[in-house]
Amino acid sequence: MSEKNKPNAKKTSNMYGVALRLAITSLVICGLIYPIIVTGIAQPLMPYQANGEIAKLHGQAVGSSLIDDGFTSQMFFHTRNESNPLNASASGVDPDITIPQALSQISGISNATGISQSSLTQIVDQNEQGVYWIFGSPFVNILQLNLILINQYPLVYSNFTTG
């Protein structure tokens, strides 16, 4: 093997050193400095969003509007049926359902609580959140609907009105 074709150990060692320094620098910038700066800006400007959009009932934190809170009782609205792949959430913790999904639950909630179907339909209609243009269907947030039920029907939901 000629001198020209022999691997240069010093050059290879130097390349590993550069790669290691780049990895550590990236880790510090992306893993420490950037999150601290973003959090420092977000806290004073958007504290509700920066803290996870925490929902409260009678002053106590009861969940986040961003995550499915696992309502399973027939007295409440619940998230989509994950056995239907067309309706399934990618993460499984999506807190929103489409209007038809919410309306399909009304008869069961009415039977379990005695609340009229027209009252439940009105709650769904009043809390519809939109999407813009062609990017999806109108939806409702499960936690928001369930907190409204608890607040509007305290006798029905007496076990859930801690305060």
Q: What does the pLDDT average to over 54-70?
A: 81
What residues form DSSP beta bridges with 64? 54
Q: What is the pLDDT of residues 73-128, one digit of tens each?
A: 889 998 865 555 555 556 667 788 889 999 999 999 999 999 999 999 999 999 99
Q: What is the pLDDT of residues 67-83, one digit of tens each?
A: 877 777 889 998 865 55
Residue 158 · residue 141 · CB < 8 Å: no
Three-class DSSP labels, 62-114: EEECCCCCCCCCCCCCCCCCCCCCCCCCCCCCCCEEEHHHHHHHHHHHHHHHC
Residue 97 · residue 79 · CB < 8 Å: yes
Q: Among 31-35, 79-83, 113-117, 138-142, which is the least confidently predicted range?
A: 79-83
Q: Work out the pLDDT band at 34, boundaries 50, 70, 90.
A: very high
| Separation CA 103–CA 97 (nearest Å) | 10
Q: At what angle do helices 117-126 and 142-152 cross, to 10 degrees?
A: 130
Judged against a pLDDT cut of 50, whether residue 36 lies above it is answered with yes
Is the whole-model pTM more than 0.85? Answer: no
What residues form DSSP beta bridges with 60? 57
Mean pLDDT across the chain: 84
